[in-house]
Structure 1
Amino acid sequence: MTLEPTPDRPRIDAYEKVLGRALYAADHPVAGLLHGMTVPAAIARGYIEAIDITDAKNVPGVVRVFTHEDFSQIKTTPAARGAYGQPGKGYQPMTSRLIRHRGEAVALVVAETLEAAIEGAEAVKVRYVPEPFSASMDDALAKAEQEAASKLSSGDAESVFASATHRIDVEYLHPQQHHNPIELISTTAAFEEGKIAIYEGTQAVAAFAGGLAGMMGIEPQALRGVSPYTGGGFGQKNGIQEQSVLVASAAMALRRPVKLVMPRSQLFHTASYRPHSRHRVRLAADDEGHLLAGIYETVQQNSQYDGFGCEHGVNPPRMYNYGSWRGNDRIIRVDSQTPGHQRAPHEHPSSYATECAMDELAEALAIDPVQLRLINDTHRDVLTRKPFSSRYLAECLRRGAELFEWGRRARQPGSLVAANGERIGLGVGCGCYKASMTPAITTLRLSATGRCEIATSGHEMGQGLRSVIAAELIEVLGVDPNKLEIRIGDTGYAPQHVTAGSWGTGSVAPAARTAALKLREELSQLTGAPLSDEPVHVQLMRTRRPVLEVSVDTVPLGKDRQAIDQIRKGIPSTTGPEYPDFMAFSWIAHFAEVHVEPSTARVRVRRVVSVADCGRVMNRRTAESQVRGGVVWGIGAALREAGETDPRFGGVLNNDLAEYIVPVNADIGRIEVDFIDEPDPKLNISGVKGLGEVAMVGATAAVVNAVYNATGKRIRHLPIRVEDLL
């Protein structure tokens, strides 16, 4: 069966969401529910001297006040550190008197009502013994790692750079940022059918449930993780949250269900975030613009106690045909909660720095920025020398330039002026993101009545995973989407993988397609002839069987059957971007037009054109939505977002959506999206690559480069503010 372009279809769950029938974690009705609220630590480092809970216990409706004395038995296991031993968040508050970051929970108040829980939390009195702390990478108490976190090299980049005629040496600064998905992080622990059901919006329900079981000292089978819908994750919800085990343990102790919805102000201090980072970029080129050397050195903030990998240098050498390359990533430890993955975690900051540096190199060489990128196009990875499974970045650039009318760009900054006097700037930025996959376990059931049910591995976070599954079943089986039930994000139906890193579509699409093809094959054997164009359930009816069910395990390229054993245990097992015979990435090119008001220096992004190569496009509507969302994030990073840490107390000052500025409707102009839509059959049976992460990569650089083209000012920190341009 050939891979055809998918027709335009609405989201399979559109009506469910619009009508409010799609239940998110905190929406599930639970009888006899208690409500919890945490008390955040008021110091950044030190320990608790005493806690007075007398007034809190006297608040009407308060059932119990938990402190570290109640939770000292909670264990920190490898599973608690994210992806089973992978670097990540593992510190668990409220297990001792120790305070490691401001805002961590020091008490948990459980009450009959939310109002009583809040009032009780406000009544808890804590006396601390504070210790000196570091609030930023530049503080004297910050600890720099002696060894680089990662090193990548190809050739003698230092020598080549030193002898080159055309060189640039620049440093770009990226601020701390926070996810702020609209769905707040919440945990509900209930008792259902002899198990503890944990409702939490998560990207990793199986690893989450298994990790909780290990921390609580119970068997994994005693917990059921449930997250059929997640209201935005972006990497923040792919591990165990600081309150998760506290809520579950409180429910166990009280033998009643407990729910806690963490206030947004506390999430700025308890949830993961994108860390502050510095990027030094050195590029060398010959007279024709061929890249001779790239040297990329980064420094990233981390916590004092946990690990979060610094991998800024992984993607940039994959972008262009560098003659030689050297990359070096380092971390500096400060007294904060552990940072983590945030949409295009290292790829976004690295593309901001390197794509802006490419713009500076183009100016130094007097070469058009698009042309410079085309000159350095390549179909082979610089580091491994392996070919790419597919790469249409040049096509993205050419199509984007045509749609955007790039030819109107003025080389001299500030020379393109609108009728109202605003200076117009045009900028370009490109990006890539690894094409990864993970195993899946799928059960597909077809009824002679036409009803079709599929249970498989994956989480719906608004990206359209259900629509991807539906597309494959509709194409292969011709099922009626109105009679299709898709069960994902629930360990009660199928083992669940971590859905992150843009491997969701590249994992569920092949799983659904493989199951559908197997069902066709078995139905053909039952009928004794090749299937006709009639609906499959009609052909099943003729066999006098009410139901046909198949189960398949899909093992991604580069993995073996051990990956299936791992997913059954809730252990993440991903593959890519390096495969035995090739490297695989998604690619994108962004073009941005900004208008800068000359007297106030107000910047508005009037238009963006983005063209992506993500293999076969499974659903045009959800794909366009992903790219538009990524572009909005890129605009926010360029002009709005920054977490402001108070150097006196170590907390985030702008810890709400009133002062943590994100783009709103008035900030967004036209965002036009197009796709190459060429399947990548080398990668998987569905020919798909990820899109959600690459959508953001390079978008910020396009805006920043456009601001330079409008103003002639190179701003090498984010976000660009009015005062930078006055």
Structure 2
Amino acid sequence: MPSQTFSEIARVDARDKVQGRTTYAADIRLPGMLHAMLVPATIAKGKVTKVDVTAATKIPGVVHVLSIGDFPSLRPQISFRGQPIALVVAETIEAAIEGAESISADYEAAPFVPLMTSPGAQRVPAEGFNTGDVDKAFENAGVIVEGTFETPTQHHNAMELFGTVAEWSNGRLTVHEGCQNIEAAKGALVKAFGLAPDQVAVKSEHVGGGFGQKSPPKLQSALVAQAARLAGRPVKLVTPRGQLFHIANYRPRSVHNIRLAADAQGRLDAVLYDVVQENIPDGGFRSSGYHEDIARLYAIENFRATAGDIHIDRQMPRHTRGTHPFPAGFALESLIDEMAYKLGKDPVQLRLEHEAKNDIIAGQSLSPHFLNDCLREGARRFDWSRRTAEPGSMRLDDGTMVGYGVACGIFGASGSAAETTLRVRADGTTRVISSGHEMGQGIRTAVANTIIQGLDINPDRLEILLGDTTVGPQMMTVGERGTASIIPVTAKAVTALRARFDELAGPNPPAGNLHEQLARLKRPQIEVVVSELAPGQDASALEAFRAGGRAGAGPEYPGFTSMSYIAQFVEIHIEPRTGRIRMPRVVSIADVGRVVSPVTARGQMYGGVVWGFSTALREETDVDPRFAGYLNADLADYLMAVNADIGDVDVGFIDKPDTMVNSVGVKGMGELVMLGTAPAIANAIYHATGKRVRKLPIRIEDVL
């Protein structure tokens, strides 16, 4: 299968989505269901000394109030503003809200650090990296460029809020909620309630956007489950966006100091890179992760990275669309553009001259990749040759300044042990029990295309089961491993089922499609169960997968490292009197190995451009230092890109398999698609104006 391209099919979930039939967690309605609302802490740090729930219990419709001491996750010690201190359960959502608003609390407040720049904020060193002779390279450098780059605190703002519905039946707990990692959610509930794994089920068949925010277990899940157990009725909680800003994970602010050296021949020779980010003590989002991808992007042999965390008193930051490579890439790709100008070289050509063959982090080869093909194809489609090099040299007839910018991105190609069951029946139906989470990225369509391409079945009667712990183990769908893990095992199942049928049918199979052939052979069904491992894994990884544990691998595999790549070309227009920035066109070309579902892959690419524009020019979370809370905690004040912001977007794929990473040759693309957009926009702004902007988001005042 890797040798052949995949045909194009429509999204299998498109009709249900546009007709509103797709069911998300908050759409679940169960008989006798109650509604819940959280009560957030109003201090950033300290201790709750008293929670007065008297007024809430007198409100008509309020059934139960959980507060400090009623459940372990309701703790008196406060670590961040918005931390839940109570949960009100009522017959209606209106009564739950009224009850929550009536609850008051007394606190012993403690001093807190709201910002990286606040008094008392201290840097805590993190793991770094050093290879080659950086000091010597800088001593002998012909040209050095350097700068400090800043990216802001930003929130995910997925369309779907945190919705949880919990129900107990005969000692078993079932939870419906939007999630990227329902096995972790299940494990947290098993631990919280002291249950056996087979007593807990978590279902998340559709997720309205994740972006990393819906990967860790949620604070609210166990609270809603406890409320349902106490009430003896199902309970639903949909957390308002304003509360979500304060309790859900987010992208931390980061500051990147970077120096780039080129030798006398104009060859990029060394990088000196230091990064610091906001974090909480023992936070799970590593500052040492920023250098790990960008150090592999180009052939620069001397690289020293240092990192640190500045501890703050807000909730924990975590992976957010583009994770580490987005902020780090903004710094490096902006500086490479600056170096190209200093060397008098075309920015595309400079990148082409530094194609990486080796992974300097792991000390091994990179698998064959096609970043240079992305650059060449992008330059061709964009008509990069029309660019004149001098900043400010391109204008429209009305005086509008025109800028061309280019930048690249890189993201690790990971995978996971996986298992699938494929069953074809004589009655015309096909069922595949798969693994993963459908967050809008099109994983169901990719699975469907893999089966349809390999088997002659009825495509309109194909059922794909995933996102449900009751049908089988569900792998964590993060870090671009979803399609790259489930498609190889699905392709293997297709091959196994076809071989089993050939054995059954013999040399003269009956006519018709596979369903009709089974009927004529008087066989009600044919089924296979197959598993697959990522490179370097053994049977223990599959056992971990089956037990709901960690079973991922990559991008460093035994003997090689596999990465996904992208090249972004952007045209920017700037109105000279007002500084208004517009983006009339973008060309985005990616190397993601074999493209399994062309329609949904293009959709992800379009989305990546929107993400990138929004992150570069719109999004910033405003932190109120007085309270360590967020001022623009809604979609009215948190600025994001809208339709009018996005011009013509041309996307494309190299579509060459990486057969070292898996049998189909597919690599992930979920986070890759936005990488390179911000520096490409910043580089285009420099080309248009001669002003180098090193801080996101870029505002009108930055170009005036």
Per the alignment, residue 469 of structure 1 pairs with 447
The answer as to whether partners of 2:133 and 2:302 remain within 8 angstroms in 1 is yes
Distance 2:450 2:635 in 1: 39
* Separation (CA, whole Å) in 1 of partners of 2:81 and 2:430: 50
Quote the residue 2:146 is aligned against: 169
Which digits, 9 at most, give the CA deviation of each residue in 1:111-158, with x for residues without a partner? 00000000000000111221111111111232321x32x222221112
Please name the residue that 1:203 is paired with. 180
How far off is 1:387 after superposition?
Answer: 2.3
- Map residues 469-488 of structure 1 onto 2, 5 A cutoff: 469-488=447-466
- TM normalised by structure 2 equals 0.98
C-alpha change, 1:361 and 1:176, in structure 2 (3 Å) is same
The 5 A counterparts of 1:47-62 are 47-62=47-62
1:565-590 CA distance string (max 9 Å, x none): 11122112211111112110111000
Query: Partner of 2:39 in structure 1?
Result: 39
Which of 104, 126, 145 is the aligned partner of 1:125? 104
TM-score (normalizing by structure 1): 0.95
Check if 1:105 corresponds to 2:84: yes
Code of the aligned partner of 1:134: V
Aligned to 1:536: 514
| CA distance, structure 1, for counterparts of residue 449 and residue 511 of structure 2 | 17
Structure 1 residues 174, 55: closer, same or farther in 2, change over 3 A?
A: same
Question: What are the residue-to-residue correspondences of 1:215-230 with 2, within 5 Å?
Answer: 215-230=192-207
Partner SS state of residue 243, structure 1:
helix
Report the Cα distance in structure 2 between the residues aligned to 1:658 and 1:222, rounded to whole angstroms: 42
Structure 2 distance, partners of 1:295, 1:543, is: 69
How many residue pairs were aligned? 703
Decide whether the 8 Å contact of 1:235 with 1:342 is kept in 2: yes
- SS of residue paired to 1:541: helix
Residues 299-310 of structure 1 aligned to structure 2 (within 5 Å): 299-304=276-281, 306-310=283-287
How far apart, CA to CA, are the structure 2 residues paired with 1:323 and 1:379? 11
**Could you tell me which residue of structure 2 aligns to residue 12 of structure 1?**
12
Secondary structure class of the residue paired with 2:558: coil
Q: Deviations over 1:359-418 (max 9, x none)?
A: 111111111111110111122223334222221000100110010011122211111001
Contact conserved, 1:186 with 1:201, CA < 8 A, in 2?
A: yes
- The CA deviation at 1:22 is 1.4
Deviations 1:197-251, CA, capped at 9 Å, x for gaps:
1101000111211112112222222110100000000100011112111111111
Residue aligning to 1:316: 294
User: Cα gap change, 1:66/1:179 in structure 2, threshold over 3 Å: closer, same or farther?
Assistant: same
User: Does the 8 Å CA contact 1:141/1:334 hold for their aligned counterparts?
Assistant: no
Question: Given residue 11 of structure 2, which amino acid in structure 1 is its aligned partner?
Answer: R
1:283 is aligned with what amino acid?
L
Pair 1:292 & 2:269 matched: yes
In the superposition, relative to structure 1, how do residues 532 and 296 fare at CA in structure 2: closer, same or farther (>3 Å)?
Answer: farther
Aligned with residue 367 of structure 2, among 389, 392, 395 = 389
Is this contact kept in 1: 2:280–2:313, CA < 8 A?
Answer: yes
Letter in 2 for 1:472: T
Check whether the contact 2:618–2:639 (CA below 8 A) recurs between aligned residues: yes
Matches of residues 291-690 of structure 1 in structure 2 within 5 Å? 291-304=268-281, 306-310=283-287, 311-529=289-507, 534-690=512-668
Letter in 1 for 2:80: H
Change (3 A) 1:143 1:250: farther
1:80 corresponding residue in structure 2: none
> Match of 1:553, SS?
strand
Contact 1:287 1:365 in 2 (8 A): no
**Which amino acid in the other structure matches residue 55 of structure 2?**
D
Check if 1:262 corresponds to 2:239: yes
Contact 2:686 2:692 (C-alpha < 8 Å) held by counterparts: yes
Q: Check conservation: 1:471, 1:619, Cα contact below 8 A.
A: yes
Instruction: Give the aligned residue type for 2:307.
Output: D
1:153 matched to 2:151: no
Distance 1:230 1:361, change over 3 A: same
Aligned AA (1:381):
D
Q: Separation in 2 of the partners of 1:216 and 1:158?
A: 56
Distance 1:6 1:330 in 2: 44
Using a 3 Å threshold, how does the CA distance of structure 1 residues 530 and 246 change in structure 2: closer, same or farther?
Answer: farther
- RMSD after superposition: 1.4
Note the alpha carbon deviations across 1:573-611, whole angstroms, 9 max, x for none: 211111112110111000000100111111111111000
Contact 1:158–1:295 (8 Å) recurs in 2: no
Measured in 1, the distance between the counterparts of 2:511 and 2:336 equals 53
Displacement of 1:534 in angstroms is: 4.7
Stretch moving more, 447-456 or 532-541: 532-541
- 1:88 alignment counterpart: none
Contact 2:2 2:664 in 1 (8 A): no
C-alpha change, 1:192 and 1:24, in structure 2 (3 Å) is farther
**CA distance in 2 between partners of 1:255 and 1:568 (Å):** 32
Q: Percent identity?
A: 45
Structure 2: distance between partners of 1:409 and 1:591: 12
Whole-Å separation in 2 of the counterparts to 1:697 and 1:230:
23
**Amino acid paired to 1:439:** A
Following TM superposition, by how much is the alpha carbon of 1:305 offset from its aligned partner in structure 2, in angstroms? Answer: 5.3
Return the offset for 1:530.
8.2
Q: 1:649 to 1:355 in 2, by over 3 A?
A: same
Counterpart-to-counterpart distance in 2, 1:565 and 1:276 = 38
CA 496–703 in structure 1, closer or farther in 2 if over 3 Å, else same = same
Distance 2:597 2:511 in 1: 23
Q: In structure 2, what is the Cα distance between the partners aligned to 1:510 and 1:346?
A: 27
Q: 1:680 Cα deviation (Å)?
A: 1.6
- Paired with 1:23 and 1:192, the residues of 2 have a C-alpha distance of 22
Q: Give the deviation of 1:43 after TM superposition.
A: 0.9
Find 1:272's aligned residue among 245, 249, 271: 249
Cα offset for 1:709? Answer: 0.8
Q: Give, in whole Å, the separation in 1 of the partners of 2:146 and 2:511.
A: 63
* Structure 2: runs of 5+ lacking an equivalent: none
Q: Aligned runs of 1:73-88 on 2, under 5 Å?
A: 74=72
User: 1:422-475: CA deviations, max 9, x gaps?
Assistant: 100110010111110011121111101221000111110000000110011011
Structure 1 CA distance, aligned partners of 2:47 and 2:542? 44
Give the Cα separation in 1 of the matches to 2:532 and 2:140.
Answer: 51
Residue number in structure 2 paired with 1:77: none
Deviations 1:676-724 (A, max 9, x none): 0111222212110011111011111101111111111111110011112
Q: 2: CA distance between counterparts of 1:393 and 1:497?
A: 29
SS at structure 1 position matched to 2:650: strand
Displacement of 1:331 in angstroms is: 1.1
SS at 1:23 equivalent: coil
Worse-superposed segment, 282-291 or 616-625: 282-291
Aligned to 1:86: none
- Aligned CA distance change for structure 1 residues 594 and 481 (closer, same or farther; 3 Å): same
CA distance in 2, matches of 1:553, 1:113: 46
The answer to which of 374-383 and 341-350 deviates more is: 374-383
What's the offset of the Cα at 1:33?
0.5
Residue pairs, 1:131-150, within 5 angstroms? 131-145=110-124, 147-148=125-126, 150=127
Which amino acid letter does the alignment assign opposite residue 161 of structure 2? L
Name the SS of the counterpart of 1:673 in structure 2: strand
Residue 341 of structure 2 aligns to a residue whose secondary structure is helix
Per-residue deviation at 1:537?
2.1
